[in-house]
Structure 1
Amino acid sequence: MIKKFTQWLTSASGLRRILNIYGPYLGAGVRVRYLAKDFREAKVEMKLRWFNRNYVGTHFGGSLFSMIDPFYMLLLMNTLGRDYIVWDASAEIDFVKPGRGVVSAHFMVTDAMLAEIRDKTADGEKFLPTYEVHIVDADGELVARARKTLYIRRKPARED
């Protein structure tokens, strides 16, 4: 039973389901719309609701930020596998225009990103890449620009 649950949790569809019922995401109205089977792509969105709007009637900035918070870390953890340590190190967000209606963000892990990570961490050194994420409205106009810096290191080889 536990093995079956663990397998479900580590699949892309299982993780997407868990994230969609995760308390902070429910409270913010965030929905994971797509998570690729190979963990190389994700799409999230958030509708403007009474519980995620701010005093002036637009998307609350904290909800916009939480919408994009863990995704590069989650995608890279699952893509690189257990031989790597992946943590969020820092983040910043620039609010470009008020968010109204449905906003969304798209995340991609490219071959070039993976090659750079493997190259920079091959000798066991830490690597602190920064990836930019755009939050856009239904018309594709930029609402916010965020930068996520990750801590990535290859785990030392285990001696048996």
Structure 2
Amino acid sequence: MKPAWLKRLPPKWRAHAVRIGFNLHPAFRGAGGRVVEVAPDLSKMRVRLPYSWRTRNVVGSLYGGSLFAITDGAHPMMLMAALGDEVVVWDKAATIRYRRPGYSAVEADFELPPQEIEAIRAALRESPEIERKYTVELKDQTGEVCAVVERTVYIGLKSHYRQKGGGTCELPIG
């Protein structure tokens, strides 16, 4: 389930395209986040939330919604790129724990080591759908943790997902 546009690009351009794609996406851009680094194999990303008038709340600290929003989509994108077309990946749940107010830019590092990808492949051989939890710390420029986000990601074999009726979200008309 790698995004179609990403598959069409030569491998050496993919990391750059992912960075640009995230940075131009209206929801991500509106939250103030910027992807500043993507590994060539798409296994690591670094996201930055600058401290500016657009990202501050009424008391002058970083807006909590922006802190939360900059963590959205990174792990699913990295998982789709690593696992290929045979799987469906969705963000299923997320929580944020604020540790301290942010009064400077913060960064979050996302990583999917090869061992994690192999563990997921092994788990999918045992069960057609699994959930994985990923924890990301948002750190300010001094290295202090301002917030911790935990995201639960659904990963399922595409054949199983379709069989159970996933992929449609229809609203009644009338």
- Which letter does structure 2 place at the counterpart of 1:19? F
1:98 alignment partner, one of 90, 93, 101: 101
Could you list the per-position Cα deviations for residues 103-136 of structure 1 after superposition, in whole angstroms to 9, with x for gaps in the alignment? 0000010122112111111145211110100000
Task: Quote the residue 1:70 is aligned against.
Answer: 73
CA distance in 1, matches of 2:100, 2:5: 45
What count of residue pairs does the alignment treat as equivalent? 155
The alignment partner of 1:16 has SS state of helix
- Give the unaligned 5+ runs of structure 2: 161-174
Distance 1:82 1:6, change over 3 A: closer
- Give the unaligned 5+ runs of structure 1: none
Residue 82 (1) aligns with residue 85 (2)? yes
The alignment partner of 2:159 has SS state of coil
Contact 1:124–1:156 at 8 Å: present in 2 too? Answer: no
- Which letter does structure 2 place at the counterpart of 1:18? G
Residue 114 (1) aligns with residue 100 (2)? no
Task: Give, in angstroms, the shift of residue 18 of structure 1.
Answer: 1.6
Residue 152 (1) aligns with residue 155 (2)? yes
- Which letter does structure 1 place at the counterpart of 2:28? Y
Task: Quote the residue 1:11 is aligned against.
Answer: 14
CA distance in 1, matches of 2:57, 2:45: 26
Distance 1:4 1:120, change over 3 A: closer
More deviation, 36-45/24-33: 24-33
Task: Give, in angstroms, the shift of residue 8 of structure 1.
Answer: 4.4
Residue 42 (1) aligns with residue 45 (2)? yes
CA distance in 2, matches of 1:104, 1:5: 25
2:131 alignment partner, one of 128, 140, 152: 128
Task: Give, in angstroms, the shift of residue 46 of structure 1.
Answer: 0.9
| RMSD of aligned residue pairs (Cα, Å) | 2.2
Contact 1:124–1:155 at 8 Å: present in 2 too? Answer: no
Contact 2:134–2:150 at 8 Å: present in 1 too? Answer: yes
CA distance in 1, matches of 2:59, 2:100: 13
Runs of 4+ off more than 6 Å: 3-6
1:22 alignment partner, one of 25, 35, 60: 25
The alignment partner of 1:11 has SS state of helix
CA distance in 2, matches of 1:14, 1:101: 28
Task: Give, in angstroms, the shift of residue 28 of structure 1.
Answer: 2.2
- Which letter does structure 2 place at the counterpart of 1:128? E
Task: Give, in angstroms, the shift of residue 69 of structure 1.
Answer: 1.1
Task: Quote the residue 1:138 is aligned against.
Answer: 141
CA distance in 2, matches of 1:35, 1:151: 23
More deviation, 133-142/115-124: 115-124
